[in-house]
Amino acid sequence: MKKSLLAVALAVTGLVASASAFADKPAIGVAEFKNESAAGWWRGGVGWELSGMLSNELASSGHFRVVERNKLEKVLEEQNLAASGRVRAGTGAKMGQVTGADYLVFGTVTDYEENTASTGGGLSFKGISLGGKKSEAYVRVDVRVVNASTGDIEFSRAIEGRSSGGGIAVGVYRGGFGGNLGHEQNTPAGKAIGAALVEISEYLDCVMVVRGGCEAEYNAKEQKRRAGTKKALKLD
């Protein structure tokens, strides 16, 4: 009898500890991504697809409670937040209560570039050339994390994703591509998008959960990005 009571007590303790650990995780919602680039793969519906992909990536880390899209979409539209990336004065507390999110993540694709060049290699069969091309892709996503209770932007960062190589390869993104982006999974664009999503997830994990010095890595990346941008804009 005593063993049975002990087993029950241990089970209850485990459930309480598990519930407490779950409650301690930041509740995060990812808004529809916006596009300000000339990306040819961007079309209707892609913004929410990217939101879902990032949500999956964040959930797979095990460090966040991710709010479902159906709890966000209508509220974001009513508050006109999807485009602004901020909570209007006086609506912050309501946003947190209605959506169940502690934080809202807004992402905007601000730059996309893709280059394809001949490598001089490849194969030739009956006069038809196959392969011999190298493709590279670059995407930049500006990320903002808004406190759903105060309306303050607590974190912001320009995140870059890059890919290179010809032919089919597996990207670093752990999830799957679907919808309008389904045919991009193994393309340079898809790999750059996947790399950016992973980088965003790891950045949020660092600044919102892990902390303890990991921010230095992202500060160094930001300084490098800024230096590269400054150099590219320098006029002789």
Does 37 reside within a domain? yes
- Structure tokens of 96? 């947190």
Indicate whether 129 pLDDT > 70. no
User: Please, what sign has the CA dihedral across residues 175, 179, 182, 185?
Assistant: negative
Q: Which amino acid belongs to residue 232?
A: A
The whole-number pLDDT of residue 13 equals: 46
At a CB cut-off of 8 Å and minimum separation 6, what does 141 contact?
33, 107, 108, 109, 110, 158, 159, 160, 161, 196, 200
Kind and range of the H or E element at 83? helix 81-84
Does 6 reside within a domain? no
Does 12 reside within a domain? no
Measured CA to CA, the distance from residue 75 to residue 92 in angstroms comes to 12
Q: Looking at the DSSP assignment, which residues form a beta bridge with residue 118?
A: 133
Measured CA to CA, the distance from residue 144 to residue 82 in angstroms comes to 12
Please state, rounded to an integer, the average pLDDT across all residues of the chain: 77
Q: Which one is predicted more confidently, 228 or 73?
A: 73
Does 100 reside within a domain? yes
Closest CA to 51 of 79, 96, 81, 25: 81
Does 11 reside within a domain? no
Structural domain boundaries, residue 106: 25-121+129-233
How confident is the model over 50-82, as pLDDT tens digits? 999 999 999 999 999 999 998 888 777 766 554
How confident is the model over 175-193, as pLDDT tens digits? 668 888 888 888 899 999 9
From residue 177, alpha-carbon distances to 37, 114, 153 in Å are 20, 19, 29
Measured CA to CA, the distance from residue 225 to residue 227 in angstroms comes to 5
Pairing of strands 103-118, 27-30: parallel
The whole-number pLDDT of residue 202 equals: 94
Does 180 reside within a domain? yes
Indicate whether 9 pLDDT > 60. no
Q: Looking at the DSSP assignment, which residues form a beta bridge with residue 97?
A: none
Tell me the mean pLDDT in the region 35-45. 93
Return the top range by mean pLDDT from 35-39, 92-96, 182-186, 217-221: 35-39
Tell me the mean pLDDT in the region 151-158. 91
> Are 145 and 153 a contacting pair, CB within 8 Å?
yes
Q: What percent of the chain has pLDDT over 90?
A: 40
Indicate whether 86 pLDDT > 60. no
> Are 33 and 108 a contacting pair, CB within 8 Å?
yes
Of the listed ranges 50-54, 73-77, 86-90, 106-110, the least confidently predicted one is 86-90
Does 2 reside within a domain? no
Tell me the mean pLDDT in the region 213-220. 83
Indicate whether 30 pLDDT > 90. yes
Does 56 reside within a domain? yes
Our count of domains for the chain comes to: 1
| CATH code for position 59 | 3.40.50.10610
